[in-house]
Structure 1
Amino acid sequence: MVKQMQDKFNKYLVEYFMILSCAVILDPRYKLNYVQYCFTTIYGIHASDFVQTILCNLRLLCDWYIKKSKFMSSSLVGSSNVSDNNSVDSNLHQHNVNMVDLGGDYDESDDYKRKISI
């Protein structure tokens, strides 16, 4: 009976790892390095398999979000009261898209600290 309970627990744990890991990666305080550390601590040499699965799913989520946001923005173009000549917003958005790095050391708190020190 204990073996059955352990198997069931492990099954659900793996499913929740995916969701929790994505949330941790999206949190600017932790990012991917923290998830890699935790999985290495738990799974040892098999950690890279879990991390790659999480990264793949996170990229799928980002791709879905980009497609969805492009669809929503294109459907709002005709109904917008704001002119489309705002190149600053467009350039800022493109800069943010170009800066997306799922495995990097980017931390939004660094940007905040730089802004308040100026």
Structure 2
Amino acid sequence: MLEYSLYHKYVLDYWGQQDKDYQIFALSNEEWRNVAILCKILEVFYDVTCVFSNFVQTILSNLRLLFDEYVKKLKSTSSSLARSSNVSNNDPVDSSLHQHNVNSADLGGDYDESDDYKWYLNESSTKSEKS
């Protein structure tokens, strides 16, 4: 809006001279210089914001891809573990992994990848063992 006001500076000055109601809003030459300086400063902020927003979007996109790969590896690892060994109810790690696989299978078509993350947070917060 400030750029457009600078573009139409002469029209706005003329309007300020002709219209008594607008005279209180008319800018002095020093105020017009300040508007020009402010436009240059804001233009730099705008450009930096645009670059930073495209950079943030790239990071988010890469994080989503990384998480998707993690989910695929987790699913393939957990399914191969379930096939290659008998799941024992006495082993808390195996039984919780089996329970997670059962819960994931129950979701069917409404499965959301964030469920794996929620499950992990729930499991890690309930265990207080030291490694």
TM-score by length of 2: 0.33
TM-score by length of 1: 0.36
Q: Which has the higher contact order (CA 8 A, sep 6+)?
A: 1
Task: Find the structure with the greater CA-based Rg.
Answer: 2
